Amino acid sequence: MVRHETVPSLAEVAPSLARRARRRTETVDEILRIAVDVMREEGAAALSLSEVARRIGVRPPSLYKYFPSRAAVYDALFRRGAEQVLDRFRTAAAAAEPGVEALAAGVEAFGRWGAENGALAQLLFWRPVPGFVPSAEAYGPAVDLVSDIEKQLASAVERGQLRAEAATDEGQAVLSVLIGGAFSQHAANEPDVAYDEGRFTRLVPVLLDIFVRTYAPEGDRP
Amino acid sequence: MVRHETVPSLAEVAPSLARRARRRTETVDEILRIAVDVMREEGAAALSLSEVARRIGVRPPSLYKYFPSRAAVYDALFRRGAEQVLDRFRTAAAAAEPGVEALAAGVEAFGRWGAENGALAQLLFWRPVPGFVPSAEAYGPAVDLVSDIEKQLASAVERGQLRAEAATDEGQAVLSVLIGGAFSQHAANEPDVAYDEGRFTRLVPVLLDIFVRTYAPEGDRP
DNA sequence: GTCTATAGCCTGATAGAC
DNA sequence: GTCTATCAGGCTATAGAC
């Protein structure tokens, strides 16, 4: 005998599941948002789940329904940061003329995100948290970003805007030193200064110009 | 009445004081040496005085006879690191032809020290320890280093090897981005790779070359 | 999914005997 | 200058009631 009157219909259960899933996502979002606040105020390595719980207004054990460990929170933060910067890079690059202009626009957006999200950026560019190593899954968007930059470099070479050398491992490493260096100096020396006012962040266009001149095709130099 | 037979002579007391001072210095040195080991193994932010005491073979309270707090240990480490890198820079620069060659030699030594002393270098270049800000006194040698680099830049300009722009704030900032960027990428991505094998540290001569070309006097570019 | 309660760790730092 | 003893607090994580 089927007790169909006690079994909720799909129409009844589906919205409830969706609501629950949405509510859960919102809570996860809130945890991560507060975690970023704590990291910014106390330092990336000083993230404490108890402090996050305190600010949200729940007890620490409740957070374990959403994340199995403190490392899992760091992992989600890493992934989220990498997704954000990838998104910014792609949006900016897509809005510009393909080639060096797209590259410059993407790198500029990249640097701006880093300066404005120092706590998250430290997690991506430095290794400030003893014992934490991002999972391969969290690394995904970061890998995509590197691959996007490679593509933009290759595109600039194809268009004759840069020498072939720019798209080699050396060119990529030089570019990452320039971007990572500007961010690092900014984050270490003047973390609270706005991007447009920073002594180092303001150099990003200059550094890009240096990169482009260095790898300019023969005969193109002034 | 002077009880001179109970008062030790200067000849008796002075060597004892000297011995005591030397012994004290040795203990301080050992504490700092072990602290660097712990930082390298556990991360710069994970330095624990208990762990240092454990490795030395004493109880934690004993360390407080040498340092008033954990922050004081970090401060001494910062100062010591800055002194070391200043010394390396000066020695290398002094052994080379004044001007861009001395600059290149100094920067090379600088980068090599950073790669070989990652834990200490992180303390100098990043802000990995929540709540720790170096004292003005610990900053001293770091300020001297910046001033030395400025002098070398000015010297290269005087000799006509670089444009005047190289010795401005922009030139200094660009140079520090290049050095700091190479170190940061190395420390974050391949901290255990030797300087000469590192993907980023190996770029230091290339980056210096880029700097020199960028600020080469008019008409000197190829 | 929230809570209470708690285990089981760790830490920095101090007081005072020897 | 070393030790024992201890304070006072933090933390992550788990068990189990509701």
Tens of pLDDT, residue by residue over B93-104, are: 999 999 999 999
Q: What are the tens digits of pLDDT across the range B40-90?
A: 999 999 999 999 999 999 999 999 999 999 999 999 999 999 999 999 999
Alpha-carbon distance values, B23 to B16, B19, B77, B152, B203 (Å): 10, 6, 19, 39, 43
Q: Do A178 and B176 touch (CB under 8 A)?
A: no
Question: Quick one: CATH architecture of B7-68?
Answer: Orthogonal Bundle (1.10)
- Global pTM exceeds 0.85: yes
Residue B2 pLDDT > 50: no
Residue in chain B nearest A205 by alpha carbon: B174
Average pLDDT over every residue of B154-163 = 98
Q: Which CATH superfamily is domain A70-220 in?
A: Tetracycline Repressor, domain 2 (1.10.357.10)
> Per the structure block, which two tokens stand in for A20?
């629950």
pLDDT grade for A2, boundaries at 50, 70 and 90: very low
- Cα–Cα distance measured from residue A113 to residue A82, given in angstroms and rounded to the nearest whole number: 11
CATH 1.10.357.10-classified regions of chain B:
70-220
Of A181, A206, A213, the CB nearest to B181: A181
CATH 1.10.10.60-classified regions of chain A:
7-68
Task: For residue B89, give the amino acid letter.
Answer: F
Residue A128 pLDDT > 70: yes
Q: What are the tens digits of pLDDT across the range A162-216?
A: 999 999 999 999 999 999 999 999 999 999 999 999 999 999 999 999 999 999 9
pLDDT of residue A169: 97
Alpha-carbon distance values, B83 to B124, B138, B172 (Å): 11, 9, 20
pLDDT of residue B1: 43
Closest nucleotide (C1' vs CA) to A59 is: C3
Task: For residue B120, give the amino acid letter.
Answer: L
Cα first-last separation, chain B: 89
Residue B126: CB partners within 8 Å, gap ≥ 6? A122, A126, A128, A184, A187, A188, B44, B184
pLDDT of residue B219: 75
Residue with tokens 């170096």: B134
Residue B47: CB partners within 8 Å, gap ≥ 6? B35, B38, B39, B70, B73, B74, B129
Q: Mind giving me the DSSP string for B36-95?
A: HHHHHHH-GGG--HHHHHHHHTS-HHHHTTT-SSHHHHHHHHHHHHHHHHHHHHHHHHHT
Average pLDDT over every residue of A9-17 = 62
Closest nucleotide (C1' vs CA) to B61 is: C13
pLDDT of residue B10: 56
Task: Work out the percent of chain B whose per-residue pLDDT is above 90.
Answer: 88
Q: Do B210 and A210 touch (CB under 8 A)?
A: yes
Q: Do B43 and A210 touch (CB under 8 A)?
A: no
pLDDT of residue A16: 73
Q: What are the tens digits of pLDDT across the range A177-187?
A: 999 999 999 99
> Per the structure block, which two tokens stand in for B59?
């109880």
pLDDT of residue A18: 84
Whether residue A181 lies within 8 A of chain B, CB to CB, comes out as yes
Q: Which residue is nearest to nucleotide D5 (CA to C1')?
A: B61
Spacing of B60 CA from D1 C1' in Å = 13
Q: What are the tens digits of pLDDT across the range B108-147?
A: 999 999 999 999 999 999 999 999 999 999 999 999 999 9
Considering only B12-16, B38-42, B188-192, which range has the smallest mean pLDDT?
B12-16
Find out whether B80 and B120 touch, Cβ atoms under 8 Å: yes
Alpha-carbon distance values, B196 to A11, B86, B199, B206 (Å): 65, 21, 9, 13
> How many residue pairs bridge chain A and chain B with CB atoms within 8 Å of each other?
127
Whether residue B181 lies within 8 A of chain A, CB to CB, comes out as yes
- Cα–Cα distance measured from residue B165 to residue B163, given in angstroms and rounded to the nearest whole number: 5
Q: Do B178 and A173 touch (CB under 8 A)?
A: no
Whether residue A168 lies within 8 A of chain B, CB to CB, comes out as no
Q: Is the torsion defined by CA of B70, B73, B79, B84 positive or negative? A: negative
Residue B170 pLDDT > 80: yes
Q: Do B43 and A131 touch (CB under 8 A)?
A: yes
Residue A150 pLDDT > 80: yes
